[in-house]
Amino acid sequence: MSNVTAQFKFGSAVAGAFVGLEAGILGVVYLACALWPESDLCGLPAGLTAASLGAIAGGALGWRAAPRLRPLVIAFNQKSLEDSRTGDAIRFAMAALVGLWFAVLLDGHRDYQNWYWGLIMPTLVVQSAVFGYLVPKRAWLWSAAPLFGQWLWEIIVHGDQIGIGNLGPFAHLVVLGQYALTAIPCVLAAEIAAYVSRRRSAAAKS
């Protein structure tokens, strides 16, 4: 097995782990909390367990599915090289959709804050580091995208409530500022990973 193949399998496993992690959260938030809302199965510990098991299962499936996914990824990379703006737009949209999906998943949950800071934010930090390593150019953009997606969800779904109060429409800017501050750990993780990626690429060329 060549090094390139091993790297691709690792990337496929990471992508599968993210999908499995979200599937685990989905099962707890919508299934367990709907059937047994007062039980321990609806709490953060159960969510962490389900997310961990889902990530492990998804990572294993991603590793096994890598040979079939490789032609699609090669075609996408070729398209990105031919039109960098298209590739950047697709990557930004993918990262933003992850953040938006988490917001949709946990919107209105009774333990939203615990879930958000205990599981969602660490996941987004890891995602930002992965994106930053794989695409070091404009790494900050891929790390800010998930929080941008969450801000959009907040504006679309709860916008009529945000504008109510002493701040009026300026409250939307306050919410945007909060998400911008929240993105700082993600940006740092992405830039550090991008720096490591550039150093490794330079060392490989020399």
Q: How many CB atoms lie within 10 A of CB 25?
A: 23
Between CA 153 and CA 20 the distance in angstroms is: 23
CB 190 within 8 A of CB 128: yes
Q: Which domain holds residue 66?
A: 1-82
- The pLDDT averaged over each successive group of 10 residues in the chain (206 residues) is 56 76 74 70 75 84 74 59 67 85 75 79 86 83 87 75 55 74 90 88 74
Judgement on whether residues 101 and 64 belong to the same structural domain of the protein: no
Judgement on whether residues 191 and 109 belong to the same structural domain of the protein: yes
Judgement on whether residues 78 and 95 belong to the same structural domain of the protein: no
Among candidate residues 59, 82, 105, the one where a domain is terminated: 82
If one counts the domains in the chain, the total is 2
Judgement on whether residues 60 and 87 belong to the same structural domain of the protein: no
Judgement on whether residues 173 and 206 belong to the same structural domain of the protein: yes
Q: pTM, whole model, 2 decimals? A: 0.63
Q: Which of 172, 149, 148, 151 is nearest to 160 (CA)?
A: 172
Among candidate residues 82, 98, 123, the one where a domain is terminated: 82
- Looking at residue 187, its pLDDT comes to 92
Judgement on whether residues 49 and 75 belong to the same structural domain of the protein: yes
CB 162 within 8 A of CB 154: yes
Judgement on whether residues 191 and 146 belong to the same structural domain of the protein: yes
The SS3 of residue 112 is helix
Among candidate residues 28, 54, 82, the one where a domain is terminated: 82
